[in-house]
Amino acid sequence: MSRLRGVYAITDNRLTPETTLLKQVEQALTGGVRILQYRDKQSPAELRQRQASALARLCHDYDALLIINDDVELARSSEADGVHLGQDDQGISHARDALGDQAVIGASCYNRIELAEHARKAGASYVAFGRFFPSQTKPNAIQAELNVLEQAQNLDIPICAIGGITCQNANSIISAGADMIAVVDGIFGQPDIRKAASDLASLF
């Protein structure tokens, strides 16, 4: 899928609180974010539904994709474009059955190429590896090396990289084969969200 390329921003309860979420996301979209993941495991279901639906409308206004973290039912009910699943979340085949053939389904593969192979066979739209650099958001996340991105080229599926990615280190990730760079603090933790997103987008 050609739309699975570029800057992939991820929301965070600490950096994108309810009061400013939509404004911050619109700044990121204006700066060139092509994919947004809504990640909120803490808020009440009613709030998550309201935010996800509003984000879907906003992303679609900017011709960007909205992906929901971990929650297949929320992805369906909010009219998001798909879901991102971790190793312990509901299976890819279940998500595909629930969301349909056109849905974008991503899978976290950490530092393991065999997980990516399994995800591709199960019907994932893209696979994600990381973290590659020290992460503010998930400091204890599993370390991945650049060679896993090179190995993943043989999978013939879009590749996302995550974990401490900034303008200063993103080129090495892109050169190693990442189609998308997923960023949390590097966009939403910056004083000028639009500029941070634009600087990252310019690398593509």
Active site residues: 39, 108, 138
Looking up tokens 């700044």 gives: 27
**φ, ψ dihedrals at 51, nearest 5°:** -65, -45
For 29-63, give one letter per residue: b (16+ CB within 10 A) or e.
bebbbbbbbbbbeeeeeeebbebbbebbebbeebe
Q: Which amino acid is at 80?
A: A
Name the token pair of 85.
């699943």
